[in-house]
């Protein structure tokens, strides 16, 4: 009787990577099992790595999502700050792309953030799930993950706003809504102070 082998092998690269065979594949499992499967992985991806024991692939994917989710949120904040300050977010992202802030995330998500194009390529609500898994993994490992903690709170707020089924770039709308609430709260506080009895 043959032995069933289990390997976890999440991927990154999106639809473009899948159709073009350029996915990044992160596999966890026994080294011998990985070696047997490596030719199949190589047909689908250009970056294929054995990350360690079973479960390591899922952890590597969680780290990927931590970076994608928090970077997208930071870009959304930058776009919103720029626009509310009278700056063109497209011009900002163009110059950022030429410096240290340039990244694959900026290249991929940046145009949708600028256009406020939230037609889903992948529902934003999944990022809340992914970052929640990061928190669970971090707790088990005894690792502090303050960015993941902040990200979970932000994407939970996004879901509360009813935006979870839209594209990940909709985090900009969630941040814009928070900005409007801050503006309204500040205006209300100013009005209250203005009418307060001496």
**Residue 61 falls in the annotated catalytic set:** yes
Angle separating helix axes 56-84 and 89-97, nearest 10 degrees = 130
Residue 116, CB-side half-sphere exposure with 13 Å CA sphere: 10
Q: What does each C-alpha distance from 12 to 27, 43, 105, 162, 174 come to in angstroms?
A: 12, 15, 12, 26, 25
**Section 97-110 average pLDDT:** 97
Q: pLDDT value at position 5?
A: 87
H or E stretch covering 96:
helix 89-97
Domain map (residue ranges) of the chain? 11-54, 58-195
pLDDT (tens digit, 9 = 90+) per residue, 39-88? 999 999 999 999 999 999 999 999 999 999 999 999 999 999 999 999 99
pLDDT (tens digit, 9 = 90+) per residue, 117-154? 999 988 999 999 999 999 999 999 999 999 999 999 99
Q: Where do the DSSP E strands lie in the chain?
A: 11-12, 23-28, 45-52
Q: What does each C-alpha distance from 62 to 15, 16, 69 come to in angstroms?
A: 18, 20, 10
11-54 homologous superfamily: NAD(P)-binding Rossmann-like Domain (3.40.50.720)
Q: Which residues contact 99 (CB under 8 A, 6 or more apart)?
A: none
Q: Which residues contact 164 (CB under 8 A, 6 or more apart)?
A: 123, 124, 125, 128, 158
Q: pLDDT value at position 192?
A: 47
Mention the CATH class of domain 58-195: mainly alpha
């Amino acid at each position: 009787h043959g032995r069933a082998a289990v390997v976890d092998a999440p991927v990154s690269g999106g639809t473009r990577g899948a159709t073009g065979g350029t996915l990044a594949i992160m596999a966890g499992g026994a080294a011998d099992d990985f070696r047997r499967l490596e030719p199949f992985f190589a047909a689908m991806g250009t970056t294929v790595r054995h990350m360690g024991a079973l479960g390591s692939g899922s952890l590597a994917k969680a780290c990927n999502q931590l970076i994608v989710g928090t970077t997208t949120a930071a870009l959304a904040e930058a776009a919103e700050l720029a626009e509310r300050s009278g700056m063109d977010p497209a011009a900002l992202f163009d110059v950022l792309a030429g410096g240290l802030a340039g990244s694959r995330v900026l290249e991929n998500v940046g145009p949708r953030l600028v256009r406020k194009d939230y037609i889903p390529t992948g529902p934003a609500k999944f990022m809340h799930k992914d970052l929640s898994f990061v928190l669970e993994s971090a707790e088990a490992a005894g690792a502090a993950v303050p960015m993941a903690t902040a990200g979970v709170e932000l994407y939970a707020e996004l879901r509360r706003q009813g935006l979870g089924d839209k594209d990940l770039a909709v985090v900009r709308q969630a941040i814009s809504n928070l900005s409007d609430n801050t503006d309204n709260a500040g205006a209300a506080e100013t009005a209250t102070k203005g009418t307060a009895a001496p």
